[in-house]
Amino acid sequence: MSAEHEVIDLDERDHRLADSEGAVPGRRVSGRTMTVRLVAAFVIGAVLGGVGVSELRVSRDERARNASVALVALPHDSVSGGSGTEALGVIQLDGQLAVVNAGPAPITVGAAVGQRPGIQVRDTGQSRLLRPGGTGWIEVEVRVECSSSIAFESEPLSIRFSVETADGQVREVSHPIAVKGSAWEREAEMPCAYLSHSGRRGG
């Protein structure tokens, strides 16, 4: 074997050891930097995720609020008319429904219809925009059969409303109104009494 291969260069070995030892601190710094970056990325992701969830919740709550409907209705004291058809024993009153928007968003109240034996209520085709907490008056025609004994019974009359919500959706909402003892009943008494008297006299 040649003697050249048995000679070990100590300077070359020292340089290799120095390079190897010098690389360790560099790797440690890189590892620490990577850890910091991972933690920062996690924190930023958590913050952005929280913001996204919060915005989604706010958007969902707003949609639910805009779609919700809560209203209260009752016969208004303003009544006129009292015209009747003697042959049919029916009178027609021009009345109003007071409608209160008890919901959290604006609504537009359109059609209002209610019916049972002896009485029929129908709107005149006008709509009302109601702000939250606001009250509007819906013009209605009230037809009463004077011969009916249950037109103004104690049971409430259910009125079906067509309502457009703030998100543009149209929904039907029903609300009972008390007609017993209302201005509608009081206004119908005299014309019905007249028709009844005329009918008996004619017979």
Contact status, residue 120 vs residue 142, Cβ threshold 8 Å: yes
Q: Could you tell me the two tokens for 32?
A: 């620490």
Mean pLDDT of the region 36-47: 67
Among 31-45, 54-68, 94-108, the minimum mean pLDDT is found in 54-68
CA 10-14-16 angle, 5° bins: 115
pLDDT given at position 13: 53
CA 163 to chain centre: 10
Higher pLDDT, 116 or 34: 116
| Residue 15 pLDDT grade (very low, low, confident, very high; cuts 50, 70, 90) | low
Q: SS3 of 70, please?
A: coil
Residue entry with tokens 């009747």: 84
pLDDT of 16 above 60: no
Q: Could you tell me the two tokens for 100?
A: 């209160």
Q: For the whole model, what pTM was predicted?
A: 0.65
Contact status, residue 110 vs residue 161, Cβ threshold 8 Å: yes
* Chain segment 107-146, per-residue pLDDT in tens: 999 999 999 999 999 999 999 999 999 999 999 999 999 8
Contact status, residue 138 vs residue 126, Cβ threshold 8 Å: yes
- Rg for the chain, CA atoms, rounded: 41
Query: Rounded distance, CA 127 to CA 136, Å?
Result: 10
* Chain segment 140-162, per-residue pLDDT in tens: 999 999 888 889 988 899 999 99
| Burial bucket for residue 67 (CB in 10 Å: 0-12, 13-18, 19+) | middle
pLDDT given at position 86: 55
Return phi, psi of residue 69, to 5°.
Answer: -135, 130
* Chain segment 156-185, per-residue pLDDT in tens: 999 999 999 988 899 999 999 999 999 999
Return phi, psi of residue 202, to 5°.
Answer: -70, -30
Q: Which CATH superfamily is domain 71-202 in?
A: Immunoglobulins (2.60.40.10)
User: What are the sequence ranges of the domains in the chain?
Assistant: 1-67, 71-202
Nearest to 101 by CA among 27, 163, 155: 163
| Residue 78 pLDDT grade (very low, low, confident, very high; cuts 50, 70, 90) | confident
